[in-house]
Amino acid sequence: MSPEYALDGVFSTKSDVFSYGVLVLEIVSGKRNRGFHHPDHHHNLLGHAWRLFTEGRSMQLLDKLVQNSCSTSEALRSIHIGLLCVQRCLNDRPSMSTVVMMLGSDIELPLPKEPGFFNERNLLQENPSQSQPNEITMTLLFAR
């Protein structure tokens, strides 16, 4: 779900582009964005992909099955395009027709900006089964 839709209820064609980018990164990595866990940090899949990209280590995002069955340049290009699609600001995201053009050609890609929804989070607070139970108070009313 795109940040502008989740936070403000604003939906546009760029919201679909955001979702497409999440799917691309999930397919390439073999992992889901929701519930993603990495032992070195508390980013979700988007944050993990962004971190690897900025460190020049995007190949580490690839699922082992994908690594053995695709070209490195196509995999890196897919990750790059996926990150372009999940940029925080909807005006920075490409249109779907531009995404199709980028996938089908060798044109130079712009550098992506920071993705939406990648801030580190406290997994203990987000997982209710591991956190403290909510306290509930109950008041019983009696007539006089």
What is the tens place of the pLDDT at every residue in 44-85?
888 889 999 999 999 988 888 777 788 888 999 999 999 999
Secondary structure class of 48 (helix, strand, coil): helix
Average pLDDT value over all residues in the chain: 80
High-pLDDT (> 70) share of the chain, %: 75
Is 63 or 129 the better-scoring residue by pLDDT?
Answer: 63
User: How much is the pLDDT for 78?
Assistant: 93
Identity of the highest mean pLDDT range in 100-109, 120-129, 135-144: 100-109
Tell me: pLDDT of 101 over 90: yes
The span from the CA of 113 to the CA of 96, in Å, is: 18
pLDDT band for 118, please (50, 70, 90 cuts). low
Q: Which domains does the chain have, with CATH numbers?
A: 3-121 (1.10.510.10)
Among 19-23, 40-44, 54-58, 106-110, name the one with the lowest average pLDDT: 40-44
Residue 50 is encoded by which pair of tokens? 């962004």
Q: How many CB atoms lie within 10 A of CB 19?
A: 15
The span from the CA of 36 to the CA of 78, in Å, is: 20
Q: Are 140 and 115 in contact (CB under 8 A)?
A: no
pTM: 0.75
Q: Which amino acid is at 41?
A: H
